[in-house]
A and B are shown apart, each in its own frame.
Chain A
Amino acid sequence: MTIDMSQFYQVFFDESDELLAEAERLLLELDIGDPSSEDLNAIFRAAHSIKGGAATFGMTDMTEITHVLENLLDRIRKNEMELKAEHVDVFLAAKDILKMQLDGHRSGSAVDQDAVNDIKLTLQKLAQEGGRAVTPPPVTLAVAAQVAETVAQEAEQALSTDATKQYRVQLPELPEKDVTALSEELALLGTVEALPAVGKCHVLKLSTEESLDNIVAICSFILDPDDLVITELEAATDSSGHTKAAASGKQQLLLEIPDVADKDMATLVSELELLGKVTLQPAAGNLQSLWLETEESRDSILAVSSFVVDADKLKISERGDAVTLAPAQAAPAKAKSLDEGDFGLFDSSEAKPASAAPQPEAKVQQGEPVENKRVAPRRESDKAVASQETTSIRVGIEKVDQLINLVGELVITQAMIEQRTSTLDPMLHERLLNSVGQLTRNTRDLQEAVMSIRMMPMDYVFSRFPRMVRDLAGKLGKKVEFVTNGAATELDKGLIERIVDPLTHLVRNSVDHGIESPEVRTAAGKNPIGRLSLSAGHMGGNIIIEVSDDGGGLNRERILNKAKSSGLSVSDNMPDSDVWQLIFAPGFSTAEQVTDVSGRGVGMDVVKRNITAMGGVVDIRSASGYGTTISISLPLTLAILDGMSVRVGDEVYILPLSFVMESLQPSADDVKDVTGQGRLVKVREDYLPLIPLYQMFGIEPLHREPENGILVVLQADGKKAALFVDELVGQQQVVVKNLESNYRKVAGISGATILGDGGVSLILDVANLLRSSRQLIAEPSIH
């Protein structure tokens, strides 16, 4: 029976990804001077789990690296070696290599073999250095040799006889697959031989240079260490462990059964197999014989056998300790002889049962509770494992999206019912209206719950930065303290994935341009260690993500000069906020020199574009000498937005509320014509361009004069404009539907939604409107 392993690959990949990420996080958090043993253990476990998985799937390259890694970690966690900064660096590099190998296995991407070998050698070197300091050299050599796995099998064998010890590991009752898994685990420590089972307990012989503790640690992944019996064998034990097995309470008994039918024999064998291992011997005449290896007493055997054969006729003889031949070899040879006396080595069976008699009851009684005790803890641990597994499930994103769509439909239907029942007489239809009210509440709850499925903590993004900042700061010779806040803040998965790149860019920028070198900082009277903080939090219906550094701040003069030289229209008395927005212009970089980190001027505009595409807004605050904060405001999700419905003529449109600043009815005096083309409206101290929606969309409006209608002040891309509509209808949450799935993109429209009455309403693309209005109306000045 072969199992198709490929179905488990994905699980292994996902798990390894998580483990690697976890290991990296722990490594970064490690306090070099005083590493917490818990963290070290966790890192060790991660390495070990990956090794186990990789070995199972035959990914030997990963097994090799993890094995070396594991050895080093193990010695560190046992305080046999001191943790040094270089270790952490190497471990991080090893993690990268493992990640590369993992990706290689997953998607067939290229694996840099040189890098793999480099890291293997580095790890081995570290293991040797550390070993010399603490442990006796031969063992270290053995470890290194084994670790490299370059040593030929013979050499390893030779080593194992010198430096290794042999252990007899008696396992508790375990399913076959666990035993196999365990043997494979142990095989990584040394050579494993299966010895004949004792009752239902498997026995392994392990030759290894690892300590007893290690063996127990490995076994403890699969079973309760208390159930484990490990005894050390003399190094020179001959390859047959049978004698030892016998000595530990197991007996090899020869049963001779005369005059028995084949059918009865079969029954007997199956009965006896319950007691231990049965080896059938060739029948001699009508005398059947078999070997039974068991812990049970003779009385038990007699009791079992008596169901099938007359107890008097059954002969049980014990095999002497002196026999060194395996029974399977010995017996067939000897069984040829019909004469029982020829065996000579065995005592007469009649005498033995009597001498064994006093034991049986005690044994049987003992056997039962032991069995129970063994089973109980297993079940408990099974339960613990199960409960851990059920805390999260992996579900395809399309399933979640489907669920969200369906709930969206439900919300619309519910709104429809609500709208239709609202005209009913509340006195006559009290009960119906109550039920509708309840439906409304339940629908809201359901919607919230379903939306939360897609939500992921920001930690998913934040967790990748400590490493990046550390590497970058090291490369640039800067000292940076990295702090995160609000990592638990949740954001839609779709947004989370899209925010990674812009954030990476901003963090890089902060380390490269923002934070100064330690000398400059000291000269400026600042702490030589720069501080970079990444925070996330809710504000209104938005998520605010801020990248903040305490570096030099943006240089207003330099930005203005650069802008002038690149031909952007700027004036010296622009407000700071407008100057800062200039850095989002394509090709804009004020870095004095281009580094491989940043400075090429590609990026900030891409950052801005990506964030705008997500419906977000980027804002910069900066003070010279005190640092820069870049603040990104994002909607909670893309699937649902808060909208303001506005009417023009017969049409109702939805404006995303995030763009709406305010709405007002202007007086006729505040509206000015500019060169007969466009119109401006004075809103407090600002003159804003007026966008008449009816003109842009060619609708017959109710009002043509702004003072009769309503102006909605919109802000997008840092530009403000006033949209002229007939009236405001209301504010509501709408489910965004894609117009392009069955139609095509329409300029000025970002999507559609379904209103409470079942009708469709289009959602306005505010940024696009503002842009096209500028083309429609002759470019008005903004201030």
Chain B
Amino acid sequence: MLEAAGSKAESQSAPPGAAQGENSEFLAFTLGSEEYGIDILKVQEIRGYESVTRIVNAPEFIKGVINLRGIIVPIVDMRIRFKLGSPTYDQFTVVIILNINGRVTGIVVDSVSDVTTLSPQQIKPAPEMGSILSTDYLIGLGTLDDRMLILIDIDKLMTSSEMGLIETIVADI
């Protein structure tokens, strides 16, 4: 069911451009009590959490790898990485499979709520917000009625050295 929702979201998101001045669509998910949004175009699908194979000597937030139809995909638990919410794993735990420049990664979040369309006017620049997530990795704050979405620049975040997912960047530091 979740997968179907994901692919539906994907197909809906086909036309909107990420270009300035146009509305963009974001997938909203929650980590603890906060609501986050990521560019829907980076989302490949949404899955339930299944058992992972642990990777030796990997940081705690990298849960391990799964077999996604023959592709080995690393799974990152964002709750552990950003110390938000409780890292419990049950049938409601959600994994968002991201496809960023051909690299497939899964992120574990508490829940996925919906896909929202935001106009540029609704996206405000993000203020400096403590240490959890540097503003470098934020697009801004999205306001929608009384909701506030923290919009993550997932592209930048996942390729950053903080995630330790890509070797070259790790090696550079």
Contact = CB atoms under 8 A, between A and B. Distances in A.
B54 A651 contact: yes
B53 A746 contact: no
A27 to B, nearest CB: 48
A741 interface: yes
Interface stretch (A57-65, A623-631, A725-733, A758-766): A758-766
B126 to A, nearest CB: 29
A231 interface: no
A744 B62 CA distance: 12
A744 B70 contact: no
Contact of A741 (B53, B56, B103): B103
A744 B166 contact: yes
B58 interface: yes
A739 interface: yes
A746 B70 contact: no
B76 to A, nearest CB: 10
Interface string A131-174: 00000000000000000000000000000000000000000000
A415 to B, nearest CB: 12
A656 interface: no
Contacts of A738: 72
B170 interface: yes
A742 interface: yes
A697 interface: yes
B86 interface: no
A746 B103 contact: no
B131 interface: no
Interface in A484-513: none
Nearest to A406: B70
Interface stretch (A313-321, A683-691, A748-756): A748-756
Nearest to B58: A746
Contacts of B65: 739, 743, 752, 760, 762
Contacts of B64: 760
Interface in A296-316: none
A744 B166 CA distance: 5
Given A752-B65, A754-B67, A760-B67, A742 B56 contact: no
Interface in B32-79: 51-58, 64-67, 69-74
Nearest to A650: B54
Contacts of B73: 742
B165 A744 contact: yes
A651 B58 CA distance: 15
Nearest to B106: A742
Contacts of B104: 742
B56 A743 contact: no
B169 to A, nearest CB: 9
Contacts of A699: 56
Given A744-B166, A759-B51, A739 B72 contact: yes
B24 interface: no
Nearest to A649: B54
A241 B61 CA distance: 91
A656 to B, nearest CB: 17
A567 interface: no
B70 A412 contact: yes
B71 A749 contact: no
B51 to A, nearest CB: 7
A760 B56 contact: no
Given A739-B65, A742-B72, A698 B167 contact: no
Nearest to A744: B167
A651 B54 CA distance: 8
Interface residues of B, number: 26
A737 B72 contact: yes
A511 B24 CA distance: 69
Interface string A527-561: 00000000000000000000000000000000000
Given A409-B70, A737-B72, A752-B65, A762 B103 contact: no
Contacts of B72: 737-739, 741-743, 752, 754, 760
A744 B56 CA distance: 12
B74 A743 contact: yes
Contacts of A651: 53-54
A402 to B, nearest CB: 12
Interface string A385-409: 0000000000000000000010011
A336 interface: no
Given A739-B72, A740-B167, A759 B57 contact: no
B85 interface: no
Contacts of A746: 55-58
Contacts of B170: 744
B165 A743 contact: yes
Interface string B84-124: 00000000000000000001110000000000000000000
A745 interface: yes
Contacts of B103: 741-742
Interface in A749-783: 749, 752, 754, 758-762
Nearest to A697: B56
B165 A749 contact: no
Nearest to B171: A744
Contacts of A741: 71-72, 103
A428 interface: no
A747 interface: yes
B74 A742 contact: yes
B116 to A, nearest CB: 28
B53 to A, nearest CB: 4
Nearest to B167: A744
Contact of B57 (A737, A739, A740, A747): A747
Given A408-B70, A409-B70, A744 B57 contact: no
A738 to B, nearest CB: 7
Contact of A749 (B55, B69, B74): B55
A153 B166 CA distance: 66
Nearest to A740: B167
A752 B55 CA distance: 10
Interface of A: 405, 408-409, 412, 651, 696-699, 737-749, 752, 754, 758-762
Leading 4 A-B pairs by shortest Cβ distance: A744-B167, A760-B53, A697-B56, A743-B74
Given A697-B56, A742-B71, 16 more contacts: A405-B70, A408-B70, A699-B56, A737-B71, A737-B72, A741-B103, A742-B72, A743-B165, A748-B56, A749-B56, A752-B65, A754-B70, A758-B67, A760-B53, A760-B67, A762-B53
Interface of B: 51-58, 64-67, 69-74, 103-105, 164-167, 170
10 contacts: A405-B70, A697-B56, A699-B56, A737-B70, A737-B71, A737-B72, A738-B72, A741-B71, A742-B103, A742-B104
